Amino acid sequence: MPQKIIWITGASTGIGREIAIEFSRAGHIVILTGRRKSRLVSITSEIKFAGREAGAFVCNVASERSVQRTVKRIRENFGEIDVLINNAGVTAFKSFVETKTYDFDNIIETNLRGTFLCIKTILPKMIKARKGQIINIVSVAAKTVFDNSAVYAASKAGIMALTDSLRKEVRKFNIKVINLYPGATETPMWDLKSRQKYKNRMMSPNDIAKIVLFASEQPKKVHIEDIVIRPLKGDIK
């Protein structure tokens, strides 16, 4: 596969971190963004130590100014973005009654608004080039009902609806829009108690990263649109 410039949001930990490592191993230039500078620097250093090219920028995807500034810096330092991987996401495992307005705003702004802003900022250049990939790490929560996840599910269902419509609009420009729906994956999004209890059932972040890479490497005329990925023994309620 030809070398591409891959922008991964939410790359500080978990799935985003593993996606960056997998794509770098495949020979691509990876750009990691997130809100925790020290972790971004650490992962980037690890990739560079292995002899591969990477960059890192602090970016708050909920802020249009931050996203625009980050994209400008990526283009100045590395060139045009070939693949955007929308992975940044937050949640709060609370019942609907216990969910505060702050929780709602934070989850929707990061997950849904963040995805919108990142796509909005890079899409015109992809359309002009008539090529590109947008890969969204959604969640089975967009398709399945779970306790204490109403707002998270709403944000992910919003991403699904947003990007399904986008896919229809950009097919004519040879732009692929891929949605992945992972089930329970052992990441810091889960509290320690849950991770300890369900660790043997959860998928690993690297499991998901390998599938993301696979989806991105399909032939030019092949478009994988949706991939649902669940633990072998099913969802964790």
Question: Are the C-beta atoms of residues 73 and 48 closer than 8 Å to each other?
Answer: no
Between 48-62, 177-191, 222-236, the lowest mean confidence (pLDDT) is in: 177-191
How high is the pLDDT of residue 89? 93
Q: Give pLDDT, residue 211.
A: 98
pLDDT of residue 198: 66
Residue 65 Cα to chain centre, angstroms: 19
Q: Return the percentage of the chain with pLDDT > 90, whole number.
A: 84
Quote the mean pLDDT of the chain: 94
pLDDT-derived band at 235 (thresholds 50, 70, 90) equals confident
* pLDDT tens readout for residues 101-146: 999 999 999 999 999 999 999 999 999 999 999 999 999 999 988 8
The reported pLDDT for the residue numbered 237 is 64
Q: Which two tokens stand for residue 181?
A: 């729906």
Farthest-apart Cα atoms in the chain, separation: 50
Q: What is the pLDDT of residue 206?
A: 95
Per-residue pLDDT tens digits for 69-108: 999 999 999 999 999 999 999 988 899 999 999 999 999 9
Superfamily classification of domain 5-229: NAD(P)-binding Rossmann-like Domain (3.40.50.720)
Here the tokens at position 71 are 């994209």
Residue of 19, 14, 10, 6 whose CA lies nearest to 55: 6
Q: How confident is the model at residue 195 (pLDDT cuts 50, 70, 90)?
A: low
